Structure 1
């Protein structure tokens, strides 16, 4: 019952997010910076905003990080305090409010790298994506579910129940191995130390026979 209620809340939240994206996509046209026909056309922006192809999963990102794939840049669009508290390996921090700064363009306007935005969920990352997409930047992606999904799938993967299919156990093993790569510790990693009891060797007692002293004669 609780799971169904949570699913409904999430579904409603993502509908609201989609609506906000559409409003942003249309609203950006009214900004002075975009009245000079910079970037892509509004109708193309709207089409891109509806598409889900921009999303990349946490499993895909984990695989890229583990295999040291150099073809992507992780951009944390949260505030600096959140970034310093915890972020993904090798990520750079460009807060959402600085996305349009001139200094940010050299990281975001890429032709040879994929730029992957992420935040706690999709909310700020999607906004960063739509701003950069409007400018005509290429190879833009969004980490689906953000840090929340990263924690719930890679760092703390749920263990499947016995009634689940074999694929669920294989995925769990893969995610568990990934979590260990990123520093998660599991109790079964510690092998019990075998206590070796010292052998007690009985001490050999050597007896020494006392010599009888000669009896001295009297006078």
Structure 2
């Protein structure tokens, strides 16, 4: 009974989040910042917003980081204080409120990299994705579940019970190996001892962390506004 209630609650939560995304996508169309000829159409924006392909899972991201995928560019859209406490390896901090600033464009408007946006969960990273997608930035993805999901699956994976399928144990083994790669030390005898997590070194400013050479994309010329004499 408890599990059914939990499933219903989570289902309702995701439906609410989906509704919020649609409302936000519709509202972005009316923002005065964008001229009539800029960005993608509202129909395309909504189609992109509901596509599951815009998400990347924590397992997929961990695999790409461990294998040193050169096409990754991680963008932490949380505030600076949260970023300094903990962030993903080599992530650049661009808070949500600064997403549309000119200094952020060279990171977000990319043809060279897959830009992965993340926050504590999906809420702020989804907003950042919508803002960037509205003005037709390419290769944008959201880390599904954000930092919270990262901790629960990669940093501190839950050991499956004996009655679970064999693939659950295989996945746990992969996640445990990944957690060790990211600095987690497992005690050999005392299994109830808390997992020790090494703090990631973080630079004082966001611009100091540059994981790779960023190639700024040339800005598109703005179309002249309609009307006038």
> Do these two structures clear the TM 0.5 threshold for a shared fold by scoring above it?
yes
TM-score norm. by structure 1 comes to: 0.83
Task: Determine the structure 2 residue equivalent to 1:165.
Answer: 165
- Could you say which residue in structure 1 is the equivalent of 2:187? 187
- Give 3-state SS (helix, strand or coil) of 1:121's partner: coil
Query: Across the two proteins, how many residue pairs are aligned to each other?
Result: 190
Q: SS state of the match for residue 188, structure 2?
A: helix
The structure 1 segments of at least 4 consecutive aligned residues displaced by more than 6 Å after TM superposition are none
Per mean C-alpha deviation after superposition, the further-off stretch among 162-171 and 9-18 is: 9-18
Normalised TM-score (structure 2): 0.80
- After superposition, the C-alpha distances for 1:13-58 in whole angstroms (9 at most, x for unaligned) are 2211111111111111111122332111111001111111100000
Unmatched 5+ stretches in structure 1: 191-219
Output aligned runs, 1:17-56, within 5 Å. 17-56=17-56
How many angstroms apart in 2 are the aligned matches of 1:73 and 1:20? 27
Match of 1:112 in 2: 112
Aligned residue in 2 for 1:16: 16
Q: Which protein is bigger by CA-based radius of gyration?
A: 1
1:61 aligns with 2:61: yes
Match of 2:195 in 1: none
Q: Take 2:56 and 2:141, find their aligned partners in 1: how far apart are those partners?
A: 7
2: CA distance between counterparts of 1:154 and 1:106?
30
**Which one scores higher on RCO, CA 8 angstroms, separation ≥ 6?**
2
Summarize the Cα distance change of 1:135–1:159 in structure 2 as closer, same or farther, 3 Å threshold: same
CA distance in 2, matches of 1:105, 1:3: 44
Q: Which moved more, 1:7-16 or 1:18-27?
A: 7-16
Q: What whole-Å deviation, never above 9, does each CA across 1:127-160 have from its counterpart, x for those lacking one?
A: 1111100010000000000011100100110101
The residue matched to 2:52 in structure 1 has which SS? coil
C-alpha displacement at 1:97, in angstroms? 0.6
Secondary structure at the aligned position of 1:158 is classed as coil
Matching of residues 121-160 of structure 1 within 5 Å: 121-160=121-160
Closer/same/farther in 2, CA of residues 11 and 137 from structure 1, 3 Å limit = same
Residue 185 of structure 2 aligns to a residue whose secondary structure is coil
SS in 1 for 2:164: coil
The 3 A distance-change label for structure 1 pair 120 and 6 is farther
List alignment gaps of at least 5 residues for structure 2. 191-229
Please provide the CA RMSD for this pair. Answer: 1.4
Residues in 1 aligned to 2:154 and 2:78: alpha-carbon distance in whole angstroms:
20
2: CA distance, partners of 1:119 / 1:142: 9
